[in-house]
Structure 1
């Protein structure tokens, strides 16, 4: 990555908060955090957007939309980071998350969870082919209009963030707390 990022010892304000969060959790600052710290106002706006989305759909649906989008985009940063967030929030166990990483349609997820991941994946791969049929599928499995919009925003937000990291060639850090088998499963869509 050729972009110069704010130095750890000179960080102030929101940048210091971003760095401190990584340091408290993992003892180092992730490369993706450093990249986003170049424009802390944009990062704050992104965090505010996520904060507006999650209340209507819940953390589990947000993470499934995020994983579906990251899978389609081919974002190792977000697959690993959100795989870990899924585990830490006890949204599923490691075995099920491995199965989700390899093939979410055969991972024991309920119909609504599969619909969310499929929607996020299609939005991320071929948004120009989205129709009312895609949103109708979410409605059929029980989501409200607000939730359909917020699932869409969650997947679109992941596209923004993941594609920015990929475009800037941000290095992928090892994410602590993930077994080699889980890392392999989460990154398996990237091998296709």
Structure 2
């Protein structure tokens, strides 16, 4: 449980109320990570703008796959669960469960697997990456812009995951996840 005092939904005003309202519409409740990060609503809104800028070019499917892999690299249960739910409209549940357990064996394209390996590595050991890591993406047809956007998506996930982990934010289990999918998303990383 985080020591950070957050605004109760019924007491939220201004930007915080707007941020909370989005969670209410999307989830039916205000997520713990939203409450914690909304302590600085300007930073939270800037974060959302960054994500929109990345998704607008990368596309939602690629963004969510990168996010799941980066969250795996940072061992973020928060982000694996939240983005598992966000990925459900994009990928059939049985395939998403396989992606969560081992994306190498989930009937993804070679390019998608390489993209996820790259994103996971950013979460795990970006300091050791070299040109060879991005060269693999280039060899599979990714443009410079796509490589940068994949990198930004993974790095942004690292920022958010590490911030909520450092603040000891409670892990919420979003509605709409079957027991099997939840188990796959929470399996030891």
Q: Give secondary structure in 1 for the equivalent of 2:175.
A: coil
Tell me by how many angstroms 1:13 deviates: 2.0
SS in 2 for 1:170: coil
Q: Is the 8 A contact 1:83 1:186 kept in 2?
A: yes
Instruction: Tell me how far apart the structure 2 counterparts of residues 189 and 69 of structure 1 sit (CA, whole Å).
Output: 15
Match of 2:140 in 1: 141
Q: Aligned-residue CA RMSD in angstroms?
A: 1.0
Q: Runs of 5+ in structure 1 lacking a partner? A: none
Q: Is the 8 A contact 2:82 2:173 kept in 1?
A: no
CA displacement, residues 101-125 of structure 1 (integer Å, 9 cap, x when unaligned): 1100011100111011100111111
> Alignment partner of 2:59: what SS?
helix
Name the structure 1 match of 2:176: 177
2:109 matches 1:95: no
Q: TM-score, normalised by structure 2?
A: 0.96
> Counterparts of 1:71-86 in structure 2 under 5 Å?
71-86=72-87
Contact 2:74/2:162 (<8 A) preserved: yes
Deviation at 1:25, TM superposition (A): 2.6
Instruction: Give the conservation status (yes or no) of the 8 Å contact 1:101–1:189.
Output: no
Q: Count the aligned residue pairs.
A: 188
- 1:11 and 1:5 map into 2 onto residues whose CA distance is 10
| CA deviation map 1:56-105 (0-9, x unaligned) | 21111111110000011111110011011000xx3210000100111000
Matched, 1:189 2:188: yes
Greater mean deviation of Cα atoms: 2-11 or 161-170: 2-11
Return the TM-score normalized by structure 1.
Answer: 0.95
